[in-house]
Structure 1
Amino acid sequence: MPVLIVIPARHASTRYPGKPLVGLKGASGQAKTLIERSWLAARAVSGVDRVVVATDDDRIRAAAKGFGAEVVMTSPDCANGTERVAEAAEALGGGFEIVVNLQGDAPLTPAWFVEDLVAGLTADPVAEVATPVLRCDGRGLNALLDDRRAGRVGGTTAVFGRDRHALYFSKEVIPYTGQSFADDTFTPVFHHVGVYAYRPAALAAYPLWEAGPLERLEGLEQLRFLERERPVLCVEVEARGRQFWELNNPEDVPRIESMMAEMGLD
């Protein structure tokens, strides 16, 4: 089953311009750019036939080619990563049964998150899209709540039904719990991991749909599928001792570097 991973990256991020080229220091103190660390995360996934970086920026293209990545140039008019991935997949000529969007701000994504995601979508004949969710422990939930109290837009949370099909995604912390949890205690809140696996037909249709009010309000691209009543499978993944965080704001750089040092990741 041919699988393509596309890493969408743009320089003109609203919250953090130039984010893909920001340096992140590993456990040894060596710095690599965010886009390179995301590419290395993609390359570590087994069962993948091709990995490409999709960008509209010459600086990102030059950096990616410098560390050996294949690059597809896309339009600056892409509204989000899913539209950029759709354009890149079309430019490559198709031929893939599953296309994975490994967003370029998630360098701590373990390979098994993506492997489990592909397996989950393959096993669900109804879902058109799949995305991983990670059950928060108290430490992770408190980090999400701290961001919201500080007025920062940080991680995204997800709620889903018994069939694991998504009900909603939000930049608010949902569901509301009103409880406090110890750092090592599991909570009922699921952190959405910014990775998507699409069936090609759903991916190709996505740019043709107008963004709905929920997508515009939340700024979450996956809500376009829900607003079109397209089933999105939430695949629960296990941390296996790994910490996970996305780089959304400048304040996330020291947080991610601290996690990398703690886990001994270079």
Structure 2
Amino acid sequence: MTVLIAIPARYASTRYPGKPLVELNGPDGPKTLIRRSWEAAMAVGGVDRVVVATDDDRIAGHARAFGAEVVMTSTTCQNGTERCAEVAAQLPGFDIVVNLQGDAPLTPSWFVEDLVSGLRANPAAEIATPVLRCEGAMLAKLLEDRRNGRVGGTTAVFDAARRGLYFSKEVIPHTARPYADDEPTPVFHHVGVYAYRPAVLAAYPSWPVGPLETLEGLEQLRFLENGRPVLCVEVQSKGHEFWELNNPSDVPVIESMMSRRG
């Protein structure tokens, strides 16, 4: 099966305008968010092509300067999945299209590799996404964000067959008791990566935006609202910290994690 990774990147983010071009300082010096996300994509094994998908000339020019292939998409895309659908229409013939969102430079390569393997192993599944069981320290970060009114990571709940029941920017399921930093919890952090089969990706932009997607601002809820199960593939951290850049306050958090990772 041939695999395409598309990295959606837009300049006009509501919460963080210009986010893809924000520089993150790491052990290898300062690099922009979109460059670090592209490098994370290039490290994934078993991938046939990697492209940056954007509607912004500034992002496109910068990406081409560091060696990325760029696919220009329309300004009407409402989210990364719609942008990936446009990429798949321009670059047909791939069996699986991966949406590696441009705000997750700490995504380990095996998250994506395991995701693709999970979709391949489930022929009936049309969409898959990774979930990571939170330990106490990660759960504490998520809860702190919500207490301070920040939109932080997304959480997921799923059934016994690993089909997503719901995704939320609130911390679900509710759990009242405290956990030690390294103690497993019942909360799963949703990792913002998706693997799609081309047919369902092509259909997605034609579906209306439903009330849940509108309320949560989560693109994957459009699949659930249209009766398309989302396979949740559990991935392992293997000691690596994971966080997404959602707000300016996340920059020092990610820089600190990169420094510890080395």
Taking structure 2 as the reference length, the TM-score comes to: 0.99
Question: Contact (CA 8 Å) 1:126, 1:231: kept in 2 or not?
Answer: no
For 2:165, what is the secondary structure of its paired residue?
strand
Q: Report the equivalent of 1:12.
A: 12
Q: After superposition, what is the alpha-carbon deviation per residue over 1:85-108, rounded to whole angstroms, capped at 9, x for unaligned?
A: 10011112x100000000000000
State percent identity of aligned pairs: 74
Distance 1:202 1:43 in 2: 25
Q: 2 CA distance for matches of 1:140 and 1:67?
A: 33
Q: Deviations over 1:68-96 (max 9, x none)?
A: 0000000011000000010011112x100
Amino acid at match of 2:21: L
2:207 counterpart of 1:209: yes
Give the distance between the partners of 2:117 and 2:156, measured in 1 at CA. Answer: 20
User: Equivalents in 2 of 1:179, 1:247: separation in Å?
Assistant: 28
Q: What do the CA deviations read for 1:28-53 (whole angstroms, capped 9, x no partner)?
A: 5x100000000000000000000000
TM-score (norm 1): 0.98
Q: Is 1:127 matched with 2:125? A: yes
Counterpart position of 1:56? 55
After TM superposition, the structure 1 = structure 2 runs for residues 53-92 of structure 1, keeping only pairs within 5 Å, are: 53-92=52-91
Q: Which residue number corresponds to residue 137 of structure 2?
A: 139
Report the 3-state secondary structure (helix = DSSP H, G, I; strand = E; otherwise coil) of the residue aligned with 1:221.
coil
- Please give the secondary structure, in 2, of the residue aligned with 1:108: coil
> For residue 227 of structure 2, what is the amino acid of its counterpart?
E
Q: 2:192 and 2:142 mapped to 1: Cα distance? A: 15
CA distance in 1, matches of 2:124, 2:229: 7
Shift of 1:232: 0.5
Please give the secondary structure, in 1, of the residue aligned with 2:201: helix
- Give SS of 2:82's match: helix
Deviations 1:121-168 (A, max 9, x none): 011122110000000000000000000000000100000000001000
**Cα RMSD between the aligned structures?**
0.6
Give the whole-Å Cα distance in 2 for the aligned partners of 1:127 and 1:244: 26
Specify which of 253, 258, 261 is matched with residue 259 of structure 2.
Answer: 261
Paired position in structure 1 for 2:111: 113
Supply the distance in 2 between the matched residues of 1:164 and 1:134 (Cα, whole angstroms): 13
Please list every run of 5 or more consecutive structure 1 residues that lacks an aligned counterpart in the other structure: none
Flag as ranges the 4+ runs of structure 1 deviating above 3 A: none
Shift in Å, 1:199: 0.5
* Number of corresponding residues: 262
Q: Which runs of 5+ in 2 are unaligned?
A: none
> How far apart are the structure 2 equivalents of 1:261 and 1:70?
28
Q: Provide the secondary structure at the position in 1 that maps to 2:7.
A: strand
